[in-house]
Chains A and B, each alone.
Chain A
Amino acid sequence: MNTVEDAMKPPAGGREVPLKVRLRRAERARTLGYLALIAPLAIFVLLIFVWPLISLLQRSVDNPEVSAALPRTVAALHGWSGHELPGEPAFAALAADLEALKGTSELASAAKRVNMELIGFRSLLLGAAREMPLAAGKPAKDAMIELDERWGELATWQVLARNRASVTPYYLLTALDFAIDDTGAVINAPAERTIYRAILVRTLWMSVIVTFWCLLLGFPVAYLLATQPPKVANLLMILVLLPFWTSVLVRVAAWIVLLQNEGPLNTAMVRLGLIDAPVQLVFNWIGVYIAMVHILLPFTVLPLYSVMKGISPTLMRAALSLGCPPFASFWKVYFPQTLPGIGAGGLLVFILSMGYYITPALLGSPKEQMASYFVAFYTNETINWGMAAALSTILLVATLALYVIYARYFGPAKVR
């Protein structure tokens, strides 16, 4: 590697290179050396993290099924107006495609795909394929409409025409409860098929509540830790750090033990006469919120603590000595200085809780499942990559938007 000293040496022979140029060269060589140190990690993260994420995002608009399975139909529908039934060539092309495909997996996946947009299309398509080849001597159009009158409906052909392209907005629109109507315009999805906006709102709302409680409970603890002598503070810090280092699954299991109907909390409340019979505290919203606040609380305590450690106590004393009442001086002098900690801790907790999956899955009822649960659901249960990818995209965009704010104002170096 070149060093500044090497560059300072005059060249062995020939023209003298100005010092400025030589210094710049040395600087560039140095930077290249550092880039070589960064490169292995950058390549690793790109391959194992960024590339998979981009592939997943791409899946949310990916639409290969129809164009792969029905190439002749797709070609025949090119330039179709969409206002009246397509002509004989399109029907003949579809019949030829179906005959060629009969019983293949391409047909099955194309049928699954069109059925998402028009319920009943799967059986229509598979049923038509079974009837192939059509009897000779009759126009394909008449023969197919005879097979099933839905082939004579405009909506059927519009679904096929819409999915000609290998890119579709369908999944992303669906994930936001939008649909495309027969004229191709974007409309709100029919009420019986809307769930996603509610899921997204629920995800955000649950994150707001968890963040609120984490800040509310974290603030006094951080204040206590910051104002105690180091010996006491270190001891109390263990009470914050031990749960922080303990496995999330251990804490989830512990909360089930504590909150179950026969658990210590219910028993104690019955003994004290607070309640007559055990109340359901787990496998509903109570358990989810308690456990999420418990898991995320250290993420607000730690940044608040480090900010509060940097606040000089003399400012409060000055306010008090100038006659400001204790609570007013706390509110006007101390509290504003803790805002960076509140911002950093609150935003971090909000970002983390938006992606929560394990805790709601183990401690909640179906009513508390957040966006992540549905990503996993579409991947594992129904194997609908398009929907899993579309929900991921929306969740990812929301998370990254918040992360940009976080990185801008609280700096990645401060993330602990």
Chain B
Amino acid sequence: MLQSYASPLERIWYYVFRILCGLILLFLIVPILVIMPLSFNSDSFLMYPMSGFSMRWYEEFFGSGVWRTALKNSMIISPLATLLAVALGTLASVGLVRANFRGKALLTSILISPMIVPVVIVGVAVYLVFSPLGLSGSYTGLILAHAVLGVPFVVITVTATLQGFDYNLIRAAASLGADPVTAFFKVTLPLVAPGVISGALFAFATSFDEVVVTLFLASPEQSTLPRQMFSGIRDNISPTIAAVATVLIATATLMLLLLEWMRRRNERLRTARP
């Protein structure tokens, strides 16, 4: 990048710019690197220097009733909310991409708006309507509310994938004798799947990290992992928080890798020449 004929000023700027970017990237990643080691601290303070290695905070996380319940609740609510958001969102995306009708832009904006309406407002509003219906303090209520928050991500990723979809491929399949069902499973699905799965990952991450709506809607028995972390950080911050954080960072890494793998596979499929 740096040409041999660059002036001294350009040289200096080249290095200053790199150092600057390095510092910004450091700012992004340091918090994540700092909290993980503390989960192995034998001391009961969440601070450096560490006094020794221990797994006690992981035992606390997986052994204590509150955290186990929270983990269990998160593992019930998030997958079901994701499933609901993906099922409804994918169907609607197919319609949205192919149909032309008046008010389509408005409808799309409404379907995407749960992403931008302040989540506290969603929490209060949903609580207001769900309480008289007996849906507050219930798994059903939480799953429905989390699904609505995940819908925009599914709609955005799936419509984006479908927009790049070449319908000639289906015609080609039909001309080669495939019936619509075969064409869907053999041609459409493999090409669209990455978009659906990315949408699902976003929806899952949204629900898995959701705390505000849960604060309003959940009874103590339905406390989720983020909800439990919220009260943990507020009341008594202990290294158990670091252990939970480490587990969540591992989950995030896994999702990121999955997404990246899918993106590459998709790119390969799209640019492939027979």
Indicate if B12 sits at the interface (CB-CB under 8 A). Answer: no
Q: A38-B95, A372-B120 are in contact. Are A224 and B21 (CB under 8 A)?
A: yes
Instruction: Tell me the interface secondary structure of chain A in the complex.
Output: helix
Q: Which of B188-231 contact A (CB under 8 A)?
A: 205, 208-209, 211-212, 215-216, 226, 229-230
Residues of chain A within 8 A of B215, CB atoms compared: 376
Contact of B108 among A234, A262, A264, A412 (CB under 8 A): A412
Indicate if A91 sits at the interface (CB-CB under 8 A). Answer: no
Indicate if B107 sits at the interface (CB-CB under 8 A). Answer: yes
Q: How many residues of A are counted as interface, with CB atoms below 8 angstroms from the partner's CB atoms?
A: 88
Q: A252-B233, A399-B117 are in contact. Are A56 and B124 (CB under 8 A)?
A: yes
Stretch at the interface among B54-62, B165-173, B250-258: B250-258
Tell me the minimal C-beta distance from B248 to chain A in angstroms: 5
Residues of chain A within 8 A of B230, CB atoms compared: 249, 358, 362
Complex CA–CA separation, A343 to B126 (angstroms) = 32
Tell me the minimal C-beta distance from B273 to chain A in angstroms: 19
Indicate if the CB atoms of A257 and B111 lie closer than 8 Å: no
Indicate if the CB atoms of B31 and A294 lie closer than 8 Å: yes
Indicate if B94 sits at the interface (CB-CB under 8 A). Answer: yes
Indicate if the CB atoms of B229 and A41 lie closer than 8 Å: no
Q: Can you list, as one digit per residue, whether each of A283-298 has a CB less than 8 Å from chain B (1) or not (0)? A: 0000000000010011
Indicate if the CB atoms of A257 and B35 lie closer than 8 Å: yes
Indicate if A44 sits at the interface (CB-CB under 8 A). Answer: yes
Q: Can you list, as one digit per residue, whether each of A223-241 has a CB less than 8 Å from chain B (1) or not (0)? A: 0100100000010101111
Q: A37-B91, A45-B151 are in contact. Are A246 and B248 (CB under 8 A)?
A: yes
Identity of the chain A residue whose Cβ is nearest the Cβ of B96 in the assembled complex: A38
Residues of chain A within 8 A of B260, CB atoms compared: 234
Q: A248-B209, A257-B34, A415-B112 are in contact. Are A53 and B10 (CB under 8 A)?
A: no
Indicate if A250 sits at the interface (CB-CB under 8 A). Answer: yes
Residues of chain A within 8 A of B105, CB atoms compared: 407
Indicate if A168 sits at the interface (CB-CB under 8 A). Answer: no
Q: Can you list, as one digit per residue, whether each of A396-416 has a CB less than 8 Å from chain B (1) or not (0)? A: 100110010011000011011
Q: How many residues of B are counted as interface, with CB atoms below 8 angstroms from the partner's CB atoms?
A: 91
Tell me the minimal C-beta distance from B34 to chain A in angstroms: 6
Complex CA–CA separation, A258 to B36 (angstroms) = 12
Instruction: Tell me the interface secondary structure of chain B in the complex.
Output: helix
Indicate if B77 sits at the interface (CB-CB under 8 A). Answer: no
Tell me the minimal C-beta distance from A389 to chain B in angstroms: 8
Identity of the chain A residue whose Cβ is nearest the Cβ of B29 in the assembled complex: A239
Residues of chain B within 8 A of A310, CB atoms compared: none
Indicate if the CB atoms of B117 and A396 lie closer than 8 Å: yes
Indicate if B17 sits at the interface (CB-CB under 8 A). Answer: yes
Q: Can you list, as one digit per residue, whether each of B1-38 has a CB less than 8 Å from chain A (1) or not (0)? A: 10000000010000001101100110111111011001
Complex CA–CA separation, A297 to B229 (angstroms) = 23
Indicate if the CB atoms of B148 and A246 lie closer than 8 Å: no
Q: Which of A367-393 contact B (CB under 8 A)?
A: 371-373, 375-376, 379-380, 385, 388-389, 392
Indicate if the CB atoms of B99 and A34 lie closer than 8 Å: yes
Complex CA–CA separation, A247 to B70 (angstroms) = 15
Identity of the chain B residue whose Cβ is nearest the Cβ of A46 in the assembled complex: B110
Identity of the chain B residue whose Cβ is nearest the Cβ of A353 in the assembled complex: B118
Residues of chain A within 8 A of B156, CB atoms compared: 412-413, 415-416
Q: Which of B39-57 contact A (CB under 8 A)?
A: 46-48
Indicate if B234 sits at the interface (CB-CB under 8 A). Answer: yes
Indicate if B89 sits at the interface (CB-CB under 8 A). Answer: yes
Contact of A51 among B30, B101, B129, B249 (CB under 8 A): B129
Indicate if the CB atoms of A50 and B160 lie closer than 8 Å: no
Which 5 A-B pairs give the minimum distances between C-beta atoms? A355-B118, A34-B99, A254-B31, A37-B95, A41-B92
12 more contacts with CB within 8 A, not counting A240-B25, A376-B123, are A41-B151, A55-B125, A56-B128, A221-B24, A242-B32, A249-B230, A250-B248, A253-B245, A355-B118, A357-B120, A373-B120, A396-B117
Q: Which A residues are within 8 Å of any B CB, using their own CB?
A: 30-31, 34-38, 40-42, 44-45, 48-53, 55-56, 59, 217, 220-221, 224, 227, 234, 236, 238-243, 245-258, 260, 262-264, 267, 294, 297-298, 326, 351-352, 354-358, 361-362, 371-373, 375-376, 379-380, 385, 388-389, 392, 395-396, 399-400, 403, 406-407, 412-413, 415-416
**What are 5 A-B pairs with beta-carbon distances under 8 A?**
A48-B144, A48-B148, A56-B128, A249-B230, A372-B119
